[in-house]
Structure 1
Amino acid sequence: MTISTKNLNELPDALGLMRLTQSLAVLDAILSPEWEYRYYSFNHAWSDGEMMASMRDGSGDQWFAIFCAAGVALHGVVHEAPAFRPGHPLPAIFNCLPKAFHANLLHEPAFTTQDSTFCIWRLDNEERWSCGPIEFSTDGDPDGSAQLLNILAGRPEQYVEFAKNYYERDLNLSDVSAIYRHQPLSEALGQRLNPELDLESLKEDLAEIGYPMLDLDGR
């Protein structure tokens, strides 16, 4: 079943989501040396004690996730969604957002929450994801959450399909699965994913993402 605010059961827990979004960021960094063309990014030192993951499609649709001691919160913007109210998000989107996320997500200028169409969160001491109690009169995907969140189901074949459509690259499922497992990136694995990759130039990206890499001599 598709992940959306109507069904958050398939989302991983906070640690699982952190590792998954790191993997997505690494795969994008491998396939696209130019940062501005990437969909996914991750900063494991976003601010003191906090990490940040994001998705931007280049057309304004996006999500941002903040990982902190309180847990994790993610908001998204889909401009074609019926819930899109630029500058005036539906109040219920954030009415129940725990105060622990207000400063680092809701009031963070970089995250453009003034345009949000949905927000989800999970406190560290909770076992389920939550979202605001919004009732829509339309079927389908009224807040755009299904469009943006389904990649977070954590299935490597989803990224294989994404890479084929967006980067026009046919990736081996086992190689993508290795990144999803956080297997340290070797030169051989990087070259299989992108034969044009200069692994040395990827060091700064991997350090920012917080993803392990083998030494260039394979150790």
Structure 2
Amino acid sequence: MAVTAHDVAGSLPDIATLRERCRALAVLEAILSPEEESRYYSFTRSWSDDEEMASMDNGSGDAWSIVFSPAGAFLRGFDHESPMSPAVNDEELWPGLVDTVPEVFSAAVNEPAFSYEGTLEATVCLWRRVDDDQWHTGDIDFPDGADPDGADRLFSVLLDSTGLAYHGFAEDYYGKAINFDAVREIFALAPLTANMVRRLKADRSTAALLADLSYIGYPAQLT
């Protein structure tokens, strides 16, 4: 059975919970990956004067971005192998993908950082205004395939509240055993301590890690 953005829209948590989950992912990556450019997941609390942004970049052409703003949240995902990619559709977005995105999210839809040669890099778009009771996506006729828009592969980690999905990803990506209890504590937004960092066997200086945590906006008790 195909999994699409419609399924993800029904499974994502509310905006506040999703924001916290994105911050946890960014903190774990900051601990495990000293080099910022090598990190899968990132978060900045100062994307603009009144916006925050979470992102994923696998370094192989797949990415997602979530802009958290006073209006709500806008999410775009890009699976470079999807038949819905603009790269295989004359540089055009898939019909219905952004046609019904509310005007309050137009800046995110037109954000140059999410575009390639003027076209939004997206095979998935979701949005939720602050007063909505659910996430929304466009009225889309999906192509055949088990994961036609890449939504399943791109967002499986975000749909898991326990940290297990990230833990499995990280052990595979970093090629080492990773302490799940420490992952779980960060997913619960426990203030980061030196003991948690030690359990994750991270080679990070306290000063550098505190700078990352300030950028993310995550509490710490490292000193």
CA displacement at 1:36 relative to structure 2 = 0.9
Cα drift, residue 198 of structure 1: 2.0
User: What residue number does 1:170 align with?
Assistant: 177
Q: Which runs of 5+ in 1 are unaligned?
A: none
Contact 2:31-2:202 at 8 Å conserved across structures? no
* 1:27-176 aligned within 5 A: 27-86=28-87, 87-103=91-107, 105-112=108-115, 114-153=120-159, 154-176=161-183
Distance 2:168 2:36 in 1: 20
Equivalent residue number for residue 211 of structure 2: 204
Runs of 5+ unmatched residues, structure 2: none
Moved more, 145-154 or 15-24: 145-154
What whole-Å deviation, never above 9, does each CA across 1:51-84 have from its counterpart, x for those lacking one?
A: 0000000011000100001110100111111111
Change (3 A) 1:172 1:215: closer
- Over 3 Å counting, the alpha-carbon distance change for 1:3 and 1:121 in structure 2 is farther
Give the aligned residue type for 1:165. Answer: D
Q: How many residues align?
A: 215
* TM-score, length basis structure 1: 0.93
Give the RMSD, CA atoms, in angstroms: 1.6
Q: Give yes or no for contact 1:95–1:132 (8 Å, CA) kept in 2.
A: yes
Listed one character per residue, the Cα deviations across residues 192-215 of structure 1 (whole Å, up to 9, x for unaligned) are: 112423222111110010000114
2:187 corresponds in structure 1 to 180
TM (norm. structure 2) is: 0.92
Change (3 A) 1:67 1:198: same
CA pair 23-4 structure 1, distance change in 2 beyond 3 A? farther
TM-superposed deviation, 1:91: 3.5
Gap change, CA 1:195 and 1:144, over 3 Å in 2: closer
